[in-house]
Amino acid sequence: MDVDVPLEWQTEACRSYTPANSNREMEYRTYRHESGDLRLKVAPASLDGESHPGYALTATSYPGLEFSETIRVRTVLTFERCNRIAHDFMDLFSASYDGPGSLEDALEYAYERTRDHR
């Protein structure tokens, strides 16, 4: 059990690395809900083809299945800030999730409360 994530979540992958064209260390982390129905990823935005600096929080419903969908929740400048937003997202999702039939509603609930409202 991971002590830094809500009970319903586990850290799936955690990695630090230094890109070839930089001397700045980057971080990458994924979390999986205990149901297996949702994965969150905190990673450099450049991994998803973005040209600006910072980290992106993405959510993938039904990861590994052919009908999985990924949405970008938020992009921020630092890993620490993005990871805090991911933890808020996990708490909000878990509070609303009540099984596979409610995945979309719980996902929308957490997304609306953690996305950038500019």
Residue-wise pLDDT for 64-83, tens only, equals 899 999 999 999 999 999 99
Residue 65 in tokens: 């299945």
- Interval 31-48 mean pLDDT: 91
Q: Is the pLDDT of residue 118 over 90?
A: no
- Interval 72-97 mean pLDDT: 94
What letter does residue 112 receive in the DSSP assignment? H
Q: Is the pLDDT of residue 1 over 90?
A: no
Question: Distance between CA 79 and CA 76 in Å, rounded?
Answer: 8
Dihedral over alpha carbons 42, 46, 52, 53 (to 10 degrees) = 50
Confidence of residue 115 (pLDDT cuts 50, 70, 90): confident
Residue 60 in tokens: 């993938």
- Give the three-class secondary structure for 85: helix
pTM metric for this prediction: 0.86
Please state, for a pLDDT cut of 70, what percent of the chain lies above it: 86
Confidence of residue 48 (pLDDT cuts 50, 70, 90): low
User: Strand ranges (DSSP E) for 1-118?
Assistant: 9-17, 26-33, 38-44, 55-61, 69-76
Across the beta sheet with 9-17, the strand order is: 9-17, 26-33, 38-44, 55-61, 69-76
Quick one: angle between helices 79-96 and 103-114, nearest 10?
140
Check residue 25 and give its pLDDT.
Answer: 77
Mean residue pLDDT of the chain comes to 88
Place of tokens 């002590």: 3
